[in-house]
Structure 1
Amino acid sequence: MDIPGPEPQADGGVGAVAAAGGLHLYQLRLHAEYGPVVRFQLPGADTAVSVADPVLLEATARLDKRPERLFAFLAPLFEAGNVQVMPACEHTPWRRLLLSVLAGRPSHERHFARFTELVTALADRWAERAGQGPVELQKDLTALSLRMICEYALGGEAEDPDRVVAAFEEVLTEHLGRLYQAPSPGPGEKHAERAAEALAYLRAVVDRVVVAHRAGDRADRSDLIGALIEAGERPARIRDTVMVAMLAAHHTTGVAVSWTLHLLGRHPGAAGRVADELDRVLGDRAAPAYADLRRLTYLEMVLKEAMRLYPPGPYGARETTEALVLGDYELPAGTTVFYPFWAVHMNPDHWPEPEKFVPERFTPEETAKRPRLAYIPFGLGPRGCEGAALAMVEAELILAVLLKRFRFRPVPGHEVTPVERFVLWAADDIRMTVSPRA
């Protein structure tokens, strides 16, 4: 049976994506029109098949190959080969090592106090400027999330954290600009030169941290660089792994928290329930201990519902290495399989009234009623996000500190419009009035 979809266009699909306002909105439109499985043109992949049915997604869950052309724009960031598309035989042990660090409680606890200091410093700055106008959530919170991952990936040992953050932003602006074919500010050659210098600086910083670890015999399985050294990884792969950790987390946590605060600002009942839970669990303390997070069950439900409505990474992609049966369709080897996270999360068959903000969807009882892959904010299968557990810890910590201290209200007349810029961004930021809780 032929897979339904729009007629092919000479421009390879660029015009259709642009006309929809971005790939994430285009996916929503395609699945609303053609059903749960859609064939469409994707720049960099010729023809792709998008799957928004969580039951059908199960057939793709073991795919362990990413389409190389879609990730080619990241290749210049890596010296040991493009880590995003490494073959399965190399990727599996590398992933196992990353999960042993990123998903482990020892690693989270080791960095939790420093994360708390960074979040508290931002809260202090917001408290000092109370009454001086709205806060731009995404600007401040993505800067915080980048600072947190720099602390994590480099073990808090960067000599100049501000310069590391600035250098990484310089590199991302250049390389993500190529993905979206966005003109860089200023002369192109000059900007490319600055990005190359920033990348060289970041690699040098990582090298110095690696040398310090080796000289001090400080390998630690709860430390990313220490674990890589202990595993015998070569210097280029260590640098690449640190870079990919920073890349994956550079904005996602801050964006997820921003959308959560946006939704709570529009649902004061849910915001009040979060505040009550924080008061009950934390008492007079301004920040949670690591062990407190498991008791903040409603806060976790709110965060999950926010990531359902606004998944920070709006899609993923795999490539079939052999023929794959997908319901009534057969996909030949070499097919790009597209995971439209947003369309999956808005599938009305599994999310009644999907546009509504209902944190109670994530009670254990409600979760048990849904297919396993109905909720995939961190992707799925062997190429899913290794840092998912760490990201949840970071986001819950940030929300707990901020919501214990502040109330967040929408700025009248400020329109919040989602746009896709590698992560699900707001076109003109998310501006909110931040005031201390009584």
Structure 2
Amino acid sequence: MRGDGSTPPRIPGPPVRGDGVEAIVAAGGLHNYQLELHAEYGPVVRFPLPGADLAVSVADPVLLEATAAINKRPEALFEFLTPLQESGNLQTLPAEEHIPWRRVMLSVLAGRPSHEAHFARFAELTSRTADRWADRAGDEPVELQKDLSELSLRMICEYALAGGLEPEEPGRVVAAFEDVLTEYLARLYQTDAPGTEDERRARAEEALTFLRATVDRVLAAYAERDDGPPERSDLVAALVAAGESPARIRDTVLMTLLAAHHTTGVAISWTLYLLARHPDAAERAAAEVDAVLGDRAAPDYGDLKRLTYLDMVLKEAMRLYPPGPYGAREATEDLTLGEYTVPAGTTIFYPFWAVHMNPEHWPDPEVFDPERFTPEASAGRHRLAYIPFGIGPRSCEGATLAMVEAELVLAMLLKRFRFRPAADRTITPIERFVLWAAEDIPMHLTPR
């Protein structure tokens, strides 16, 4: 009941039939379903969501402001990640645990000292990938997602674990994460996955055992090092100094590896895909890289702030293909969203893709236009119209690091190659924890 005695209107949405799985599958995934819902019902939609009963999805950045301070995620919706963690699901930690843990993470992941400390090593790892690609140029196309996810994993292992993996292990780690997520996402959404139920469960358990053993081995080797006092660039040292338990440290490393290698590799892949489809933008980005780098193969850390057009290209790519296509919070008190009232306990769904395609804030939203991110254009836009890393106290702790990694990799690859899409392949975005291309993104390379 409102203060004037009237009853607030009911939030619009589709007829409730079961838990929503059938409608999500029919739409081609939850990300597509959100676009359809908001196109039909408007900026605030009520819909059935597996693991959350009825949820309220908000695609208007102005209305999102009312939710920005919420520090609680719905536990059931993130339950599929619980098997990866033994000290408590890091995605759903209570606020009193989450706040100090996040503070430690940000002290390292968001800090310039840690970025500069690892920058040369990131460039070296990128150079190795580029060298392998150069050996294959003119032959079969490279698979961007596969190779760039492995590169991102090597970079985050260097960052979080000071290296520590054997040369063949990153590929195995990527595959293991895929096996675990395929199984637990299939359970959440009650969808089909390859193999029988017993085969999938056994494969997921074997993959999880491998992941934990790999991190345990690297952490044990790390503990035996004698490198002097911990620095602000060392994630594990920061967690140890904060008094986190060994189990929490392992869980944090595992979750960091999972989130970082998926999101950064995918963001770079979609950016190269869009540049390959827009040669004028690709030439402009490459010309900027040439002007900033000169004869150097890699930028210095300080060069990144001079790659302004490349930064705009990356942001526009993440608008069109946000690596994480959605997020969620749980209302801890009654909320007012425009003319609607949302009761405490409701799952608030953040459809990043639908927010980024909102035509009231993004004219011609399907058009690739990096000029949307000039300082002038950005200054006139609502701050929550662009949210690839989420919002508020549960936003991505690694956002700044991800941008540093992505811009470094893009600069080095654009310096060395021109990219041309494989003509016989259709690129279809699908939901796989991140916004993945169903059959990768094959790309022909031409050395520059």
Give the TM-score category using the shorter length. over 0.9
Q: What residue is the counterpart of 1:142 in the other structure?
A: 149
**Aligned pairs (5 A) from 1:62-73:** 62-73=69-80
CA distance in 2, matches of 1:4, 1:325: 15
Letter in 1 for 2:182: L
CA distance in 2, matches of 1:162, 1:225: 23
Q: What residue is the counterpart of 1:162 in the other structure?
A: 168
In structure 2, relative to structure 1, the CA distance for the partners of 1:174 and 1:214 (3 Å cut) is closer
Structure 1 residue 101: deviation in Å?
0.4
User: Is 2:353 the partner of 1:342?
Assistant: yes
**Cα pair 1:130 1:435 within 8 Å, conserved:** yes
**Cα pair 1:176 1:422 within 8 Å, conserved:** no
CA distance in 1, matches of 2:366, 2:216: 47
Structure 1 residue 187: deviation in Å?
5.3
User: Is 2:323 the partner of 1:317?
Assistant: no
Structure 1 residue 233: deviation in Å?
1.0
Structure 1 residue 163: deviation in Å?
2.5
Q: What residue is the counterpart of 1:127 in the other structure?
A: 134
Match of 2:109 among 89, 102, 105: 102
Unaligned runs of 5+ in 1: none
**Cα pair 2:183 2:201 within 8 Å, conserved:** no
Structure 1 residue 192: deviation in Å?
3.5
Deviations 1:277-297 (A, max 9, x none): 011100011111111111100
Equivalent position SS for 1:3 = coil
User: Is 2:299 the partner of 1:299?
Assistant: no
Letter in 2 for 1:80: S
Structure 1 residue 202: deviation in Å?
3.4
Q: Please report the RMSD computed on the Cα atoms of aligned residues, expressed in angstroms.
A: 1.7
Q: What residue is the counterpart of 2:434 in the other structure?
A: 423
Structure 1 residue 416: deviation in Å?
1.4
**Aligned pairs (5 A) from 1:164-243:** 165-167=171-173, 169-180=175-186, 181=190, 185-186=194-195, 188-216=197-225, 218=227, 219-243=230-254
Structure 1 residue 303: deviation in Å?
0.3
**Aligned pairs (5 A) from 1:18-57:** 18-57=25-64
**Cα pair 1:75 1:82 within 8 Å, conserved:** yes
Match of 1:369 among 361, 377, 380: 380
In structure 2, relative to structure 1, the CA distance for the partners of 1:201 and 1:21 (3 Å cut) is closer
**Structure 2 length-normalised TM:** 0.93
Structure 1 residue 428: deviation in Å?
2.1
Equivalent position SS for 2:297 = coil
Q: What residue is the counterpart of 1:328 in the other structure?
A: 339
Match of 2:16 among 3, 8, 17: 8
Equivalent position SS for 1:251 = helix
Identity over aligned residues, as a percent?
68
CA distance in 2, matches of 1:295, 1:249: 24
CA distance in 2, matches of 1:165, 1:242: 17
User: Is 2:297 the partner of 1:286?
Assistant: yes
Q: What residue is the counterpart of 2:4 in the other structure?
A: none
Structure 1 residue 73: deviation in Å?
1.1
User: Is 2:413 the partner of 1:402?
Assistant: yes
**Cα pair 2:143 2:442 within 8 Å, conserved:** yes
CA distance in 2, matches of 1:51, 1:381: 15
Equivalent position SS for 2:168 = helix
In structure 2, relative to structure 1, the CA distance for the partners of 1:164 and 1:276 (3 Å cut) is closer
Match of 2:401 among 383, 387, 390: 390
Equivalent position SS for 1:38 = strand
Letter in 2 for 1:366: A
Equivalent position SS for 2:445 = strand
Letter in 2 for 1:255: V
CA distance in 1, matches of 2:421, 2:225: 50
CA distance in 1, matches of 2:248, 2:366: 42
Match of 2:287 among 262, 271, 276: 276
Unaligned runs of 5+ in 2: 1-8
Structure 1 residue 188: deviation in Å?
4.5
Q: What residue is the counterpart of 1:152 in the other structure?
A: 159
Structure 1 residue 412: deviation in Å?
2.2
User: Is 2:268 the partner of 1:257?
Assistant: yes
CA distance in 1, matches of 2:358, 2:177: 36
Q: What residue is the counterpart of 1:245 in the other structure?
A: 256
Structure 1 residue 194: deviation in Å?
4.7
Equivalent position SS for 2:46 = strand
Equivalent position SS for 1:325 = strand
Structure 1 residue 204: deviation in Å?
3.8
In structure 2, relative to structure 1, the CA distance for the partners of 1:392 and 1:256 (3 Å cut) is same
Structure 1 residue 165: deviation in Å?
4.5
